[in-house]
Amino acid sequence: MLLELAGTTDGWFLSSDAVARGVSPSTLTRLRSRGLIETPRKNLNRLTSFPDSWSGRARAALWGAGERAALGRHAAVRVLTGSERSVPIDLVGPRAVPASTTTVAVRGHSRLRPGDVQVHGGLRVTSATFTVCDLAAVVSEAALLRRADRFIAVAAFSLEDLRLMTARFREIEGVEKLRSVLDQLAPSSRWTRSDGERMWLRIVRELDVPDPRADHRASDAEGNRRYLDFAWPDRKLAVEIDLHPTHGTTIGRRDDGRRQNALVLAGWTVLRFDLADLMTRPDYVLRTVEQAFHRGSQA
């Protein structure tokens, strides 16, 4: 009965739910005495036979914090992007909740509204737009720009969504960084990397293939961590968008070549497109990606 109850929650369950399903309180007490159940907080239990996991700890923290709390900042990014990075479990709610009443203290945020909370993979998280604005207080402007850029590239939100959320964050720590990020992402005569990546996504979405993962982390043949602009990890197919000025330099070409060789030796197929490809040869881009994608499905 307990295995069925906790099977979808990484071993976590509420005593009240177990009793409602016919497990007596004395049975729970006996299992605790035998070390088969641990109870970090009243009414909250975990079967010790389940391996520890980040999602399990996050779920337990959310249970203890109540239905108005959500994962925020780096924890929200982890869930929203499907990352497997080990990050602190950060809880945010419309008001603070002391750590003594939950497994993790809830950070109160006066700007958080019910519509800013979504459910991904069974976990409540702040929306991508709110998450970027909330990160402004704890990350550098460059890191914030990269994160906003990636979310816009995969259509998690629009530039206008970010502008409206930034207006709500007035007088909050980090708002000046947000305004600077908006200025850098805003359309202008200067062609930016984010412009190119969004154009590539618009092109590739004409194909009947799943959306790729943006900023995917992979290991090359030399054991180095590499961040790929876009990737289909199950096919080991990567796409690099060469729009940054350094790609045209001798050093840039040499570094790109070494990086690509190490990825190919690790089994990756790496496609590269530049601004001219996106602007004047979209059919070539589509044809190349489609051929590589379906070749990967036959491998």
Contacts of 175 (CB under 8 A, 6+ apart): 136, 166, 169
| pLDDT number for residue 297 | 60
| Domain boundaries, given as residue ranges, for the chain | 2-51, 55-126, 132-186, 195-298
CATH code of the region 195-298: 3.40.960.10
Between CA 49 and CA 299 the distance in angstroms is 38
* Arithmetic mean of pLDDT over the chain: 83
Contacts of 148 (CB under 8 A, 6+ apart): 132, 162, 181, 185
Amino acid at position 247, single letter = H
Locate the DSSP E strands across 86-128: 91-93, 106-108, 117-120, 123-126
Q: What's the confidence (pLDDT) of residue 97?
A: 75
- 266 vs 198, which has greater pLDDT? 266
What is the pLDDT, as a whole number, of residue 184? 75
- Sign of the CA dihedral with 16 first, then 88, 104, and 79 last: negative
pLDDT tens-digit map of 5-53: 676 677 888 888 888 888 888 888 888 887 888 888 888 888 887 767 7
Q: What is the pLDDT of residues 133-189, one digit of tens each?
A: 999 999 998 889 888 877 887 778 888 899 999 999 988 889 999 998 888 776 544
Model confidence over 273-299: pLDDT tens digits?
887 788 778 889 999 999 998 886 665
Compute φ and ψ for 88, nearest 5 degrees.
Answer: -60, 145
Mean predicted confidence (pLDDT) in 100-106: 74
The alpha carbon of residue 182 and the mean position of all alpha carbons in its chain are separated, in whole angstroms, by 21
For a pLDDT cut of 90, what percent of the chain falls above it? 31
Alpha-carbon radius of gyration of the chain = 23
Give the pLDDT of residue 192: 55
**3-class DSSP state for residue 264?**
helix
Q: Phi first, then psi: give them for residue 105, nearest 5 degrees.
A: -65, 145
Q: What are phi and psi of 144, to 5 degrees?
A: -65, -40
Helices (H), 228-274: 250-265
* Residue closest to 47 by CA, chosen among 103, 2, 15: 2
Look at 199 and 249; give whichever has higher pLDDT: 199
User: pTM to 2 decimals?
Assistant: 0.58
Q: Which helix (H) or strand (E) holds 242?
A: strand 237-242
Task: Decide: helix, strand or coil at residue 14.
Answer: strand
Task: Identify the DSSP state of 97.
Answer: B
User: What is the rounded distance in angstroms from the CA atom of residue 127 to the CA atom of residue 201?
Assistant: 21
